[in-house]
Amino acid sequence: MQNILISLILGILIGSTVKFSDKMKKFNATFQHLGVILLLFAIGITIGINRSLLGNLKEIGGISLVFAVLTSLFSIILVFFMSRIIIKGRNN
């Protein structure tokens, strides 16, 4: 966790102090894309090596779907009610 935070903060500091040309911004976007692909490839390998995990994929898919539906649903409900309160406040 510490390393993740350090990487994030270091990035923010560099992004906010160093002047980036459009070319450098493009490079940054390309690096991010390549980084994501490399990471997902590596994650794929860890899934592929793990035979028992592949056997459980159906169950894992079900759990993930419930997670996705409920996290989205409760986010929608809360944002809807909170934004209604604000909109009401603005109109008053």
Partner 1 sequence: MTLSIVASVITGILGGYFFISESFTQHIDILIDSALYFLIFCVGIDIGLNKHIFKDLKKHSLIILIIPTSIIAGSLIGGLITGYIFHMPKNLSMAISSGFGWYSLSGIILTQLHSAEIGTIAFLTNIFRELITVVSIPFIAKYLNDYTAIAPAGATSMDSTLPIISKYTNPETVVIAFINGILLSGLVPVLVPFFYSI
Burial 76-90 (b: 16+ CB within 10 A, else e): eeeeeeeeeeeeeee
CB of 18 to partner 1, least distance (A): 8
For residue 49, which amino acid is it? I
Burial 36-48 (b: 16+ CB within 10 A, else e): eeeeeeeeeeeee
Complex with partner 1: residue 23 or 51, whichever CB lies closer: 51
Give, as ranges, the residues between 38 and 67 that touch partner 1 (CB under 8 A).
Answer: 38-51, 53-54, 56-57, 60-61, 63-67
Torsions phi, psi of 23, nearest 5? Answer: -65, -40
Q: Work out whether 26 is an interface residue with partner 1 (CB under 8 A).
A: no
Question: Could you list the residues that contact partner 1 (CB under 8 A)?
Answer: 1, 3-5, 7-17, 20, 25, 28, 31-33, 35-51, 53-54, 56-57, 60-61, 63-80, 82-84, 86-87
